[in-house]
Amino acid sequence: MFHQSQLVDGKLPVFVFPSSLTFYSDDQSTHKQVLTLYNPYDFPLRFKVLCTTPRKYTVVEAEGTIKEKCCCDIVIRHIDICINNEGIKDKFRIQVVEHGQKKILGRKEVISVLLPKKESSPPPAEDNFMSMHVPGRGRETIQPTSSSRHGPDGNVRTGGGPSLIILLAAVTCILALMLPTHGVDGDTNLPGYLHLSLHQKLIAAYILGLVTMVVLQS
């Protein structure tokens, strides 16, 4: 549980799954994807979804309220599937405030990329991003980022591929998120010990997000 002193610092963790979105030009079923936003806290949260290139996407329920210890799905559609947009990384930013308040408590960024084919690999991260805005609302600037790492000698170092342990951790988290939720899902053929609590799924989603960031940066 977070106390009021912790809410003021604006560093409230935001739990979103998945931590990145990949659309494929040749697969229409991927042109609509779902982000699940979790609220494990004992108070309701209001959320808002911003985007670096809103003309390329439609977001169903870009703003809303999540009750305490609940979650909601945010449907994102890519509406500008074309070769000129392939390989370009965009960003979604989800920011949350306590219900009835205005101060931003936390934010989470989700990378989105359009690839030509399913077997394609994500390209290197873009260094600069356009200012973030939603039509009819104010603008917010995202600071430039870089995926390169520098060693003590000043040379740029690139990471190797993900290790087997990281891949196993990712697979384990994905399997955990696919299991039924205790007290939410109805009768299933799975035994009771395979019904996870919402808190356990939040932990799995958070770990998967960290693992995904490591894989993308390697």
Domain with 92 in it: what CATH number? Answer: 2.60.40.10
Residues 137 and 162 in one domain: no
Residues 67 and 112 in one domain: yes
Nearest Cα to Cα of residue 92 among 171, 146, 166, 33: 33
Domain encompassing residue 193: 156-217
Residue 96 pLDDT: 93
Residue 108 pLDDT: 92
Q: Is the dihedral of CA 147, 19, 196, 29 positive or negative?
A: negative
* Helix boundaries (H) for the chain: 4-7, 164-178, 198-217
Residues 105 and 196 in one domain: no
Residue 10 pLDDT: 55
Domain boundary among 93, 115, 147: 147
In the chain, how many domains are there?
A: 2
Tens of pLDDT along the chain (218 residues)? Answer: 444 434 444 578 899 999 899 999 999 999 999 999 999 888 999 999 999 999 999 998 899 999 988 999 999 999 999 999 999 999 999 999 987 788 899 999 999 999 998 774 555 444 443 333 344 433 343 343 334 444 444 444 444 566 788 778 878 888 888 877 766 666 667 777 777 777 777 787 878 777 776 666 65
Residues 64 and 166 in one domain: no
Domain boundary among 86, 113, 147: 147
Q: What angle do CA 42, 15, 198 make, to 5 degrees?
A: 60
Domain boundary among 95, 112, 147: 147
Residue 58 pLDDT: 94
Contact 111, 88 (CB under 8 A): no
Residues 19 and 83 in one domain: yes
Residues 106 and 183 in one domain: no
What is the DSSP pairing of strand 132-133 with strand 139-140?
antiparallel
Give CA–CA dist 17/37, Å, rounded.
7
Residues 46 and 133 in one domain: yes
- Token output for 216: 């993308």
Residues 124 and 172 in one domain: no
- Token output for 145: 């980022």
Residues 18 and 76 in one domain: yes
Residues 19 and 120 in one domain: yes
Residue 129 pLDDT: 37
Residues 106 and 197 in one domain: no
**Distance linking the first and last C-alpha atoms of the chain:** 34
β-sheet bridge partners, residue 57? 78
State phi, psi for 91 to the nearest 5 degrees.
-130, 140
Contact 158, 146 (CB under 8 A): no
Global pTM value: 0.53
Give CA–CA dist 132/31, Å, rounded.
21
Q: How many CA atoms lie within 13 A of 202 on its CB side?
A: 15
Residues 191 and 96 in one domain: no
